[in-house]
A and B are shown apart, each in its own frame.
Chain A
Amino acid sequence: MSAAPQPGLPCRSERTAFRVVGGEALVMVVDRKELHRLNDVGSRVFELCDGRTTVDAIVESIVREFAVDVPTARADVEHFIRELAATGAILFEGDA
């Protein structure tokens, strides 16, 4: 099984610093000098963006861990990943 990030899957940028504190995460997007604070759900989504986990699998994890229904989780996760991508904290590995 390969541990390498897969094309098209969300992956934390190597140019971010990331620490979880009290269930929440601080994410520094180094090149933009932008600091973000994520709540517990956001922190978990960010953790799962490892370049090997599909968005579907992330949604499944969130549904299982936070007792939320699938449509709500999918909408929130997809929106949040787009938001993170816009900040540069997440890349889609292999995409141009």
Chain B
Amino acid sequence: MLDFAVARPGPTHARFAFGGVAFEVEAGEGVGWRLWPEFARHVCDPDRFPVVARVQCSVAIDASLPGVASPSRAFTVERRGDAPETTVVASRDLCAELEADGPGRYIASVRIPPLRPDDTDPQGPDAVVLGLAAAILEREGGISLHAAAIELDGHAVLFVGPSGAGKSTAARLSVGCRSFAFDRVNVAPDNTRSGGYVAWSLPGGSRIAVPQSAHRRLPLAAILRVRQAHPHAAPRVERLSAAKALFAVRESMWLSDLSPTAEENRIDAAALLRARIPVGEIHTVLGHSHTALLSSFAFERAGGIAEPEPQLEACDGCAP
């Protein structure tokens, strides 16, 4: 059984796989370290499910950090200005520095604020764990996406698009499929299967519900940008041109490390993904299941190519 217990008063050791990364956590004396229950249900056993990288985390108290009453899961990922090989992952109250320690291996130093005397339920390091997984995955050629996802014949199918595009609705209209993720998914090249990608569900989208397949790691079958069709039209799925597919993937990426080089690497990673995994556009219609269309697109590569549109198209704002 994986150990997520809070370390109070003694030191603790926790080991789990999350978002494609195996975490080994060593928390010092008196350190509060607890993943929220919903968060903890998204982890895998690192001995049963292959990961793309491993990180050794040491957790220590930093009295200079201000504790906050209501931590959020928002995080930033940036290269340290004076040491670009170091990535800094920070949330409102926690901070971690990440460095490579060999192929597929990383070291993270996590700093957390001291427990307050009235704090009987230490808040979780969820944001930093999310951020570390995303930063490590990106260094390993993976991508962290704002997406809903379903399990279709043992594979993950992702629905992407800006907030309000209808990702969750598209997942619900996939009748007969189990939910895999409500809001966030990590994907990375599958080292155990040539040419494929694998997907991990991340927490988000609901504090009380967990997708049925959340604890699993699934081969990635397709990514679909969600559009709402005219109510009297039939649902349909189309393949996207290369640039449109890249646009759809990039506009749905998480991460805040904003530099031209990082962005070009990110677009290159999306291009590699798009070369191996079908990326299309699904036009959903309320009340109409589109499961058969998904199956056809994901496994038979069916559907027409959308025509390129002229000139300049801007997304409303890229995640986050």
Contacts and interface: CB of A to CB of B under 8 A. Distances in A.
Interface of A: 14-19, 21-26, 28, 30-31, 33-42, 80, 83-84, 87
Contact of A42 (B261, B271, B312): B312
Given A17-B260, A33-B258, A33-B318, A22 B312 contact: no
Contact of B309 (A16, A19, A39): A39
Interface stretch (B71-79, B107-115, B172-180, B237-245): B237-245
B271 A19 contact: yes
Interface in B229-250: 241-244, 246-247, 250
10 contacts: A14-B260, A15-B260, A19-B246, A21-B246, A23-B308, A34-B314, A35-B247, A37-B243, A42-B311, A87-B312
A26 B267 contact: yes
B263 interface: yes
Q: How large is the interface on B (under 10, 10 to 19, 20 to 34, 35 or more residues)?
A: 20 to 34
A15 B263 CA distance: 10
A29 to B, nearest CB: 9
A31 B251 CA distance: 15
A96 B242 CA distance: 37
Given A19-B271, A30-B259, A34-B318, A24 B241 contact: yes
A66 to B, nearest CB: 12
B311 to A, nearest CB: 6
Interface of B: 241-244, 246-247, 250-251, 258-264, 266-268, 271, 308-315, 317-318
A38 B313 CA distance: 7
A84 B312 CA distance: 9
Given A34-B318, A35-B318, A24 B308 contact: yes
A40 B271 CA distance: 18
Contacts, number: 83
B315 A35 contact: yes
A75 to B, nearest CB: 13
Contacts of B318: 28, 33-35
A19 B317 CA distance: 19
Given A19-B264, A19-B267, A21-B242, A26 B314 contact: no
A73 to B, nearest CB: 14
B144 to A, nearest CB: 15
Given A21-B242, A33-B317, A26 B260 contact: no
Contacts of B242: 21-22, 24
A11 to B, nearest CB: 14
A35 B314 contact: yes
Contacts of A38: 311-312
